[in-house]
Amino acid sequence: MTFQGSGSIGSGNVTGGGGGGGGGRIALGGGAGLIITIVALLFGVNPGQIMGGGTTTQNTTGSAQIQQHIDSCTYEMANQGDEICRIVATTKSLDTIWPTLYSRYTAPKTNIFSGSVNTGCGAATSATGPFYCPADQTVYIDPSFFSEVLVGQLGGSDDALSQEYVVAHEYGHHVQNLTGALQHGQGSNAGSVRIELQADCYAGVWANHADDGTGDALLKPLTAEDIERVGQTARAIGDDSIQGANSNKEGWTHGSAAQRSRWFGIGYQYGDMNKCDTFAVSNP
């Protein structure tokens, strides 16, 4: 799978490092299938040390280097496996597709960082995994997550579309913030599962439209192998895959491997966000 087009991508709403400080509403992970507590268990740290109301010490030189990288991104670099440029190209595709699907869509910001970042939801580190902060309407991603955690620790695919699925999932949370659906996920694990599965479905909806063969869509037509690799990644980040098949389902927050793969598939099959109403079914 490759992007169409050539030359400069343009940074759009993507920045490097930095972010808004201070406390706010909790961030939503899920591109990796990892909420804060699960990530903490994986990395053996206190969840409060991963994301809180404080600030982190940021490497401003590193942030400047990331920004320079973003500004220099081309489609050729994205297609050659440059993870930062792949993120930038994916956000451009998402911001092209979603306004055609939801009339009230406004583009979020995306912040590519390394190590640590201050956000509207508090301070975060790379251990948090990719997440969306509703307070500042920004998606935060440390690219090292893809190889070190998604593939290295969780067994997800290193395929390009799998990485784009992670970005698209976090954009799905932004769409939920715009529609008001995020409110349904507050206060219970069951609600959180439905929120995360809907974001998976929205990622599938984007993929359906992003490979429609037009230059504006940006993705070249996807293959069955592309979709299967996304399924591999979705299964790898299911609650039962991370916590164990015999773990207490009442403690799940993102859905099982089968659920996550299935809801991405529903979105991709129909390309209709109305098919993604995970709150309207008794057993998502």
Q: Identify the pLDDT of residue 206.
A: 94
- Nearest of 60, 54, 57 to residue 22 by alpha carbon: 54
Q: Identify the pLDDT of residue 2.
A: 80
Q: Identify the pLDDT of residue 87.
A: 96
* Spatial contact of 1 and 118, defined as CB atoms under 8 Å apart: no
* Spatial contact of 39 and 29, defined as CB atoms under 8 Å apart: yes
Q: Identify the pLDDT of residue 240.
A: 61
Q: Identify the pLDDT of residue 1.
A: 57
pTM: 0.82
Q: Identify the pLDDT of residue 86.
A: 94
Q: Identify the pLDDT of residue 100.
A: 94
The domain segmentation of the chain, as residue ranges, is 14-275
Which residues in the chain come in under a pLDDT of 70? 1, 18-61, 185-190, 213-217, 237-255
Contacts of residue 162, Cβ cutoff 8 Å, sequence gap at least 6: 150, 156, 229, 230, 232, 233
pLDDT tens-digit readout, 39-82: 333 333 333 333 444 445 555 557 889 999 999 999 999 999 99
Q: Identify the pLDDT of residue 213.
A: 63
